[in-house]
Chains A and B, each alone.
Chain A
């Protein structure tokens, strides 16, 4: 992961914090949560494309983290361990969603329409409509592309591309071999490429400045 923000730097130098947290220092645990919350939330959000589910997964993940951190043997594997917890909660959500027959309102509604609850919730609605439309459109298309590939590949792509885990760590998270991770990544990228090509999106049609 590239150190882009103060938070990223703090994340990379959190060994001492981790140690204290593992010894049961609640203050350190709270700081750890603050450090990692955004990452885990975004992982969940990209996985489900749903704010509520992402919040739920993130909260469960951190509750579990604080409970089980003292029992973590190798603090060097903290990152993989944390994502493993998050991944397990994601899978649980998927299972629950499969058994649950109800459909949330914002899925029934057309998400784009102004009657949609999601539109009401979004902060963007006060922005310049043109710019907002463009940005939303690109982000929506990319998100949709991500949602279109299968779950195994999606998990790998998100962890690699957005969360910057090493292939070895991803293999640990998913409990599969490193080669399988790499091939899932490859096929995931291929599928994304096909989807983007179908939508006629390439670096020329997309404004990188967005």
Chain B
């Protein structure tokens, strides 16, 4: 068998999308080929198994689509900018109307006024000359100076008077105070000194009494100690003397024994006649 359908043809056959002669050829091929039949069966089985996957139920959410093209899009930045400028202009105009702002430009000035502009009428009185002004100023200055000087003199006098009085008063008061203070302090000092002397005296007496007693006690103690010491010394000396005497005794005893022995030996030697030469 020379004809062998390719995968695409086989798949098309499997899904029934093959017609006419192509379909017949595949069918003839399948009838001949056991292997091809088995392969197709396997694919069919896969399809069957995969077909077990069921669709999930789902509810379509409502879709509201506004298909009208928007000529005037409020959210576009340009439109928003223009609207913002227009709104601020309107606000400015309303505010201007309410406050009655008037702007007028004439010759060399621009005038910004709130409410009706006041027409400033020029003064009708004749103006003063420079000399007049000088005179007036001078006269006023002279008056002022005179008044100031008299005032100053008066106040100076008054000040001097009050100063004098206060000085007098204060000096007398200070004298009194000093006198009082001096007399008071003399008495106090004498009293203080006398109390101090009495206290000192008492303290010194006490001190002497205490120290003499202490000295007496110490002296007594010293005497007792010395006596004790002497006694001890004497006892020690006596003991030494005793020991010496004992030694002497022992020594004399020893000497005596020795002499006795010597005597005895001499005696024994003398009893035996010795003939020499």
* A-B complex is real: yes
Residues of A within 8 A of B (CB): 24, 26, 29-30, 33-34, 37-38, 41-42, 45-46, 51, 55, 58-59, 62-63, 66-67, 138-139, 142-143, 145-146, 157, 160-162, 166-167, 178-179, 182-183, 185-187, 189-190, 192-193, 196, 201-203, 206, 208, 210
User: Are B53's CB and A139's CB within 8 A?
Assistant: yes
- Counting CB contacts under 8 A, is B8 at the interface? yes
A179 to B17, CA, bound (A): 13
Q: Total interface residues on B, using CB and 8 Å?
A: 31
Contact with A along B153-181 (1 / 0, CB 8 A): 00000000000000000000000000000
User: Are B7's CB and A193's CB within 8 A?
Assistant: no
User: Are B8's CB and A179's CB within 8 A?
Assistant: yes
Cβ-closest chain A residue relative to B51: A161
A167 to B11, CA, bound (A): 10
User: Are A30's CB and B10's CB within 8 A?
Assistant: no
Residues of B within 8 A of A (CB): 6-12, 15, 17, 42-43, 45-58, 60-63, 65, 67
Instruction: Select the residue from B6, B11, B48, B62 with max chain A CB neighbours within 10 A.
Output: B11
Interface of chain A: mostly helix, strand, loop or mixed: helix
Cβ-closest chain A residue relative to B61: A59
If A186-B10, A201-B49 are given as contacts, then 14 extra A-B residue pairs at C-beta distance below 8 Å, sorted by A number, are A30-B63, A62-B63, A66-B65, A67-B67, A139-B53, A142-B50, A145-B50, A160-B15, A161-B50, A162-B55, A182-B12, A183-B8, A189-B46, A210-B52
CB contact under 8 A between A193 and B52, given known A167-B12, A183-B8, A187-B7 = no
Q: Which residues of chain B come closer than 8 Å to A161, judged between CB atoms?
A: 47, 50-51
CB contact under 8 A between A186 and B65, given known A146-B50, A203-B48 = no
User: Are A143's CB and B53's CB within 8 A?
Assistant: yes
User: Are B49's CB and A142's CB within 8 A?
Assistant: yes
CB contact under 8 A between A206 and B49, given known A26-B67, A37-B60, A67-B65 = yes
Q: Which residues of chain B come closer than 8 Å to A45, judged between CB atoms?
A: 56
User: Are B63's CB and A138's CB within 8 A?
Assistant: no
A203 to B6, CA, bound (A): 26
User: Are B7's CB and A59's CB within 8 A?
Assistant: no
A160 to B8, CA, bound (A): 13
User: Are B49's CB and A203's CB within 8 A?
Assistant: yes
Cβ-closest chain A residue relative to B12: A182
A165 to chain B, nearest CB (A): 10
Sample of 24 A–B contacts (CB below 8 Å): A26-B67, A30-B62, A33-B63, A38-B58, A41-B58, A42-B55, A45-B56, A59-B61, A63-B65, A66-B65, A142-B50, A145-B50, A146-B53, A157-B50, A161-B50, A167-B11, A167-B17, A183-B6, A187-B7, A190-B43, A193-B42, A196-B49, A203-B45, A206-B52
CB contact under 8 A between A139 and B15, given known A183-B8, A193-B42 = no
Q: Which residues of chain A come closer than 8 Å to B50, judged between CB atoms?
A: 142, 145-146, 157, 161, 192
A155 to B217, CA, bound (A): 131
A8 to B71, CA, bound (A): 40
Q: Which residues of chain A come closer than 8 Å to B7, judged between CB atoms?
A: 182-183, 186-187
B17 to chain A, nearest CB (A): 6
User: Are B52's CB and A142's CB within 8 A?
Assistant: yes
A58 to B45, CA, bound (A): 30
Q: Which residues of chain B come closer than 8 Å to A145, judged between CB atoms?
A: 50
CB contact under 8 A between A26 and B47, given known A162-B53, A182-B7, A206-B52 = no
A38 to B57, CA, bound (A): 7
Cβ-closest chain B residue relative to A139: B53
Among B15, B43, B51, which residue has its beta carbon within 8 angstroms of that of A193? B43
A182 to B9, CA, bound (A): 8
* Closest 6 A/B residue pairs (Cβ): A182-B8, A37-B60, A186-B7, A66-B65, A41-B58, A42-B55
User: Are A42's CB and B56's CB within 8 A?
Assistant: yes
Q: Which residues of chain A come closer than 8 Å to B61, judged between CB atoms?
A: 55, 59
Among B49, B53, B57, which residue has its beta carbon within 8 angstroms of that of A202? B49
B44 to chain A, nearest CB (A): 9
User: Are A167's CB and B53's CB within 8 A?
Assistant: no
Among A34, A178, A183, A196, which residue has its beta carbon within 8 angstroms of that of B60? A34
A177 to B33, CA, bound (A): 29
Among B6, B47, B52, which residue has its beta carbon within 8 angstroms of that of A138? B52
Cβ-closest chain A residue relative to B58: A41
